[in-house]
Structure 1
């Protein structure tokens, strides 16, 4: 009898984990609490490590078909002055692939399409996982039914109920100090560059250009948690009306009902391990980080690939999870620390003197410094899955 797993959460990490486990011969059921998968979300940048993970999982091609390579762009001031240029061609030479931008919905669809019909259960919330060492199987109650498996992968996001039960004394997610508003333009726009960030005092605005001509934009603001506006888009249009082009144009090309607003939380206190018994934590449930390096999804994809590879060769589930924890915890937590530091030097920096010093340092830094900063996290090779 083959091994089987239950994956809790049908996001990027959970779907990728299911694909990886199926590639090594496991039967997998993904349980998602949302009743309808509406593919909510805006855009995402995938660095080489994320793309390599997708290739190892066998879904690189369909994602690339909907992606746009990021060759041009960089970081600017609100007045439009360049602080640092992005050299996408140099990254491609170093890593074999440029960073790409893709609608999050397209990535979700590519991952779902790689799973067989019936593998994804929607509208079901996992409230508890019963991992009794005296029994051979892990039990996942779902209403009147119970799923039994050899492994449970908790990919249920930053608010993971499973993580809370495994580590009841862990403080859980912490508000980062920033809130993010994002959307995709309703029609094609001339964004000027493939990817861009603009840093002001206590604020950041960025965009990702898509293959179909539309663009995703995001605004990161230093604000109290829970602060919301009756008309968020109108507030942003006033806030950024004097910032350089194409920022006002991107906001004008957006419908108010498509705007998403979320406070940014992170697991500032690292978990002591990513696996307990026959339960593995993955993605944001294990290492939720701020988005400042664009590595959140990439790290979840790495998790999924390493988990499958570790279980493929391990003599038993416990040994595989021990290897997964040993490989993934140090790296993902180091990336999370770097992302937090990047946020402090970016959108959260507000004192005029500090902003001026940062801007001067960025302008004077050799181009190789920026390249090495990206390579530090993106230059990762996935294990073989067969």
Structure 2
């Protein structure tokens, strides 16, 4: 039997994880990425225990765990610095079988790409699905140079505004604006120590998390109309909105290169797609289930998608149709549940009425006294996920809950 061919559109974290997992299963893999330097894109990414166990499947779980730099207590705060809820990495490990890790996206992209054969990733190459194929006929992908490539499987990891999704399901509603925009950047750690935190204000939030290389990943959101940009730059906008918040926010903004700020409006899936596949094409990550970042699960769910897809995709083109149907059955209900849960948290962070914000603050404080570690509870049923058999047997076992198998 000839080696089956997979064509991946998009060299983000989901696409590269899918390529690595399929390669390990015996597929010949090509990855097309329209950006010329995708390894330089992005800032930080949260990798919860569910994503780490998925990365165990391709041999990267322990490498990622070694990137953890969050050792002390952290939690949820108000802009004045008052703590509303606290937790520790040990508590996360006890609850979910491991602590969360925050890494730079560039580091993770480099690790994933290093596991692929030379020449498998082609940058500066745009690609589109010309024919999704059928159970009996391979798919066809056309690249910007006019060349056509046949593939036994196409993985569309082409992002929130996926052209592939629009082509497969032209009547399906596009992702909708979630009501807030997000800023992200990485700067050197300040001299004064700080605890990792997320801080909720009126219609806005800020998060600060250390990285393993001595830098800090910071992110912020604010409830504003879509499409806005600050006329005097995004650093100036952040200073206006967050410059008087608690330490280390002012120090981080003082160290920020104005050119280093990433700003993106946040979108979420408007409705569950009919499926996560059509013909021989699988949608993966944001292309299938765009979600708000409030649970830190966007990248994690893409990584889960990738290993579940590879699990079902036996290196036999004759079984691809059944494999993709199984992929949709496994992934569509779970990912849409995470989309909805993320949106609920996102709505909480965009409240702007002073009385309602005060009520939210009081409620969070009371809930934390009744049952500490509020932030951890929001990930119940998500961060305890394990890869499907036979992968689960090889996933790293740590203390804590046994997790959920799908």
TM-score, with length taken from structure 2: 0.90
Task: Give the aligned partner of residue 372 of structure 1.
Answer: 377
> Is this contact kept in 1: 2:43–2:185, CA < 8 A?
yes
Other structure's SS at 1:106 match: helix
CA distance 1:251–1:369, shift in 2 (3 Å): closer
Other structure's SS at 2:181 match: strand
Aligned with residue 307 of structure 2, among 285, 290, 305: 305
> Is this contact kept in 2: 1:49–1:378, CA < 8 A?
yes
Inter-partner Cα distance in structure 1 for 2:216 and 2:270: 31
Inter-partner Cα distance in structure 2 for 1:186 and 1:234: 19
Inter-partner Cα distance in structure 2 for 1:344 and 1:107: 30
* 1:369 Cα offset (Å): 4.4
> Is this contact kept in 1: 2:132–2:138, CA < 8 A?
yes
- Structure 1 segment 1-386 matched on structure 2, within 5 A: 1-69=2-70, 71-133=72-134, 136-142=137-143, 143-186=145-188, 189-190=191-192, 192-193=194-195, 195-229=196-230, 230-312=232-314, 316-346=319-349, 348-365=350-367, 366-367=371-372, 369-383=374-388, 384-385=390-391
Inter-partner Cα distance in structure 2 for 1:376 and 1:135: 38
Q: For residues 215-263 of structure 1, what are the alpha-carbon distances to aligned partners after superposition, in whole Å with 9 as ceiling and x for unaligned?
A: 0111101111111112211221232222111111111121111111111
Range that drifts further, 306-315 or 212-221 = 306-315
Inter-partner Cα distance in structure 2 for 1:121 and 1:71: 41
Runs of 5+ unmatched residues, structure 1: none
> Is this contact kept in 2: 1:71–1:89, CA < 8 A?
no
CA distance 1:132–1:113, shift in 2 (3 Å): closer
Inter-partner Cα distance in structure 2 for 1:289 and 1:70: 28
Inter-partner Cα distance in structure 2 for 1:284 and 1:31: 17
Inter-partner Cα distance in structure 1 for 2:69 and 2:197: 14
CA distance 1:173–1:371, shift in 2 (3 Å): closer
* 1:368 Cα offset (Å): 5.1
Inter-partner Cα distance in structure 1 for 2:380 and 2:254: 35
> Is this contact kept in 2: 1:84–1:367, CA < 8 A?
yes
Give the aligned CA root-mean-square deviation in angstroms: 1.8
Runs of 5+ unmatched residues, structure 2: 395-406
TM-score, with length taken from structure 1: 0.95
Q: For residues 184-232 of structure 1, what are the alpha-carbon distances to aligned partners after superposition, in whole Å with 9 as ceiling and x for unaligned?
A: 1145554511x31111101111111111221011110111111111221
> Is this contact kept in 2: 1:233–1:256, CA < 8 A?
yes
Other structure's SS at 2:125 match: coil
> Is this contact kept in 2: 1:73–1:85, CA < 8 A?
yes
